[in-house]
Structure 1
Amino acid sequence: MGSHCEVVLAVADSRAAHAAAAPAIAEVRRIEHKYSRYRDDSVLSRIHAAAGLRPVSCDRETAALLAYADTLYRASQGRFDITSGVLRKAWDFRHGRAPQPGALEDLLPLVGWPIVEYDHDSVFLPLPGMELDFGGFGKEYAVDRAAEALTSQGLTHGYVNLGGDMRFLGPRPDGTPWDIGIQDPRDMAATIASIPFSRGALTTSGDYERFIEIDGQRYCHVLDPRSGMPVSYWRSVSVVAPLAITAGSCTTTAMLLEQDGLDFLERCGMSYLAINHTGQIFRRTT
Structure 2
Amino acid sequence: MDNDHNRTIIYLFALIVMTVALFTIFFHFSVGPDNERSNDLIAESQQLMGTIVTIEIIGPKTNAETTINSVFKEIDRIEKLMTTFDSNSEIGILNAEGQVYNVSDDLIYVIEQSIHYSNISDGAFDVTIKPILDLWKTKIIAGEYPTGQEINETLTLVNYSNITVENKTIYFNTEGMSITVDGIAKGYAVDQAVKVLKNNGYANGFVNAGGDGMYFGTGPDGSDWKVGLQNPENKSQSIVVMEISDMAVATSGNYERYFNESARLSHISDPRTGYSSQSLLSATIIAGSAMEADTLATTVFVLGPDKGLELIENIQNTECILITPNNEILTSSGFDTYLSNI
Decide: shared fold, TM above 0.5: yes
Q: State which drifts further: 140-149 or 4-13.
A: 4-13
Deviation at 1:103, TM superposition (A): 4.5
Q: Does the Cα contact within 8 Å between 1:60 and 1:120 map onto a contact in 2?
A: no
Deviation at 1:256, TM superposition (A): 1.6
Deviation at 1:246, TM superposition (A): 1.4
Taking structure 1 as reference, are residues 20 and 60 closer, same or farther at Cα in structure 2, changes over 3 Å only?
closer
Q: Does the residue aligned with 2:201 lie in a helix, a strand or coil?
A: coil
The aligned runs of 1:3-14 (5 Å cut-off) are 3-13=51-61
Q: State which drifts further: 198-207 or 267-276.
A: 267-276
Select the structure with the greater relative contact order (CA < 8 A; seq sep ≥ 6). 2
Letter in 2 for 1:31: I
Deviation at 1:27, TM superposition (A): 0.8
Deviation at 1:80, TM superposition (A): 0.9
- Partners of 2:67 and 2:87 lie apart in 1 by 31
Q: CA RMSD in A?
A: 2.5
2:193 aligned with 1:146: yes
* Structure-2 residue corresponding to 1:279: 327
Deviation by residue 1:193-230 (Cα, 9 ceiling, x = unmatched): 22223322111111126224544x42212111122111
Deviation at 1:183, TM superposition (A): 3.4
2:103 aligned with 1:90: no
Taking structure 1 as reference, are residues 187 and 119 closer, same or farther at Cα in structure 2, changes over 3 Å only?
farther
Deviation at 1:170, TM superposition (A): 1.6
Q: State which drifts further: 240-249 or 60-69.
A: 60-69
The aligned runs of 1:142-221 (5 Å cut-off) are 142-184=189-231, 187=233, 189=235, 191-208=238-255, 210-215=257-262, 217-221=263-267
TM-score normalised by the chain length of structure 2 = 0.75
Q: Does the residue aligned with 1:130 lie in a helix, a strand or coil?
A: coil
2:87 aligned with 1:36: no
Deviation at 1:241, TM superposition (A): 1.6
Q: Does the residue aligned with 1:10 lie in a helix, a strand or coil?
A: strand
Matching residue within 86, 92, 96 for 1:45: 92
Aligned residue pairs, count: 281
Q: Does the Cα contact within 8 Å between 2:87 and 2:96 map onto a contact in 1?
A: no
2:300 aligned with 1:254: yes
2:158 aligned with 1:111: yes
Q: Does the residue aligned with 1:111 lie in a helix, a strand or coil?
A: coil
Q: Does the residue aligned with 2:294 lie in a helix, a strand or coil?
A: helix
Q: State which drifts further: 206-215 or 267-276.
A: 206-215
Q: Does the residue aligned with 1:201 lie in a helix, a strand or coil?
A: strand
Q: State which drifts further: 56-65 or 161-170.
A: 56-65
Letter in 1 for 2:329: I
- Partners of 1:96 and 1:261 lie apart in 2 by 34
Q: Does the Cα contact within 8 Å between 1:180 and 1:196 map onto a contact in 2?
A: yes
Deviation at 1:180, TM superposition (A): 1.6
Matching residue within 269, 277, 280 for 1:223: 269
Runs of 5+ consecutive residues of structure 1 not aligned to the other structure: none
Matching residue within 104, 114, 133 for 1:59: 104
Deviation at 1:265, TM superposition (A): 1.8
Runs of 5+ consecutive residues of structure 2 not aligned to the other structure: 1-48, 338-342
- Partners of 1:257 and 1:139 lie apart in 2 by 21
- Partners of 1:22 and 1:209 lie apart in 2 by 32
Deviation at 1:95, TM superposition (A): 6.5
Q: State which drifts further: 204-213 or 247-256.
A: 204-213
Taking structure 1 as reference, are residues 130 and 22 closer, same or farther at Cα in structure 2, changes over 3 Å only?
same
Deviation at 1:96, TM superposition (A): 10
TM-score normalised by the chain length of structure 1 = 0.88
